[in-house]
């Protein structure tokens, strides 16, 4: 069984978030932090990083597990509302980084191949397209703030 890694990328990101040095933070939630993805090839791509360094959902106590899933759906709704996405793709893989996290990809009919999985469409590492699609705090601030505002409104509903 996969186990949580010693030098965990998500734990490092969580430390940067807590220090206030992570530029793509959308919001702190009860069970995790919502952040925009490193790549914005799919504009609005966001993640929910679990505060608990668990590898699998079933390792979380039931109340935290249920809340984590609920918060993932809130982040997804906020991304959909802020981006006007035609469809959302949700993924929780953990094959490379064994720390619970959700990917939320807004999909558009104008995507290069809107019916294909996202991973095969991402720009090749080192390409100009990859460089241009990296999260940019200046360029992406408006979208980040829109997702944040939608998330706040969703969480304020009774």
pLDDT, tens digit (0-9, with 9 covering 90-100), for 32-58: 999 999 999 999 999 999 999 999 999
pLDDT, tens digit (0-9, with 9 covering 90-100), for 76-113: 999 999 999 999 999 999 989 999 999 999 999 999 99
Handedness of CA 111, 113, 119, 121 (dihedral sign): negative
Is the pLDDT reported for residue 1 higher than 90?
no
**Distance, CA of 128 to CA of 107 (rounded, Å):** 22
Domains located in the chain, CATH noted: 9-156 (3.30.428.10)
The closest alpha carbon to 155, from 53, 61, 26, belongs to 26
Mean pLDDT of the chain: 96
Is the pLDDT reported for residue 137 higher than 90?
yes
CB 98, CB 55: distance < 8 Å: yes
Query: What pLDDT score does 40 carry?
Result: 98
| CB-based contacts of 53, cutoff 8 Å, min separation 6 | 4, 8, 10, 11, 99
Query: What pLDDT score does 52 carry?
Result: 97
The β-bridge partners of 91 are: 103
* pTM score, whole prediction: 0.95
For residues 19-39, average pLDDT: 97
């Amino acid at each position: 069984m996969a186990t949580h890694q010693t030098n965990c990328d998500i734990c490092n990101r969580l430390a940067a978030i807590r220090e206030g040095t992570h530029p793509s933070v959308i919001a702190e939630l009860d069970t995790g932090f919502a952040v925009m993805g490193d790549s914005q090839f799919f504009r609005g791509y966001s993640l929910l990083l679990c505060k608990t360094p668990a590898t699998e959902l079933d390792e979380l106590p039931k109340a935290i597990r249920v809340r984590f899933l609920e918060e993932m759906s809130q982040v997804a709704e906020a991304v959909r509302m802020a981006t006007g996405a035609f469809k959302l793709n949700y993924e929780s893989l953990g094959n490379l980084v064994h720390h619970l996290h959700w990917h939320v990809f807004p999909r558009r009919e104008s995507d290069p191949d809107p019916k294909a999985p996202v991973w095969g469409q991402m720009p090749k590492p080192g390409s100009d397209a990859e460089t241009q699609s990296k999260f940019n705090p200046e360029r992406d601030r408006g979208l980040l703030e829109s997702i944040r505002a939608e998330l706040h409104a969703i969480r304020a509903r009774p």
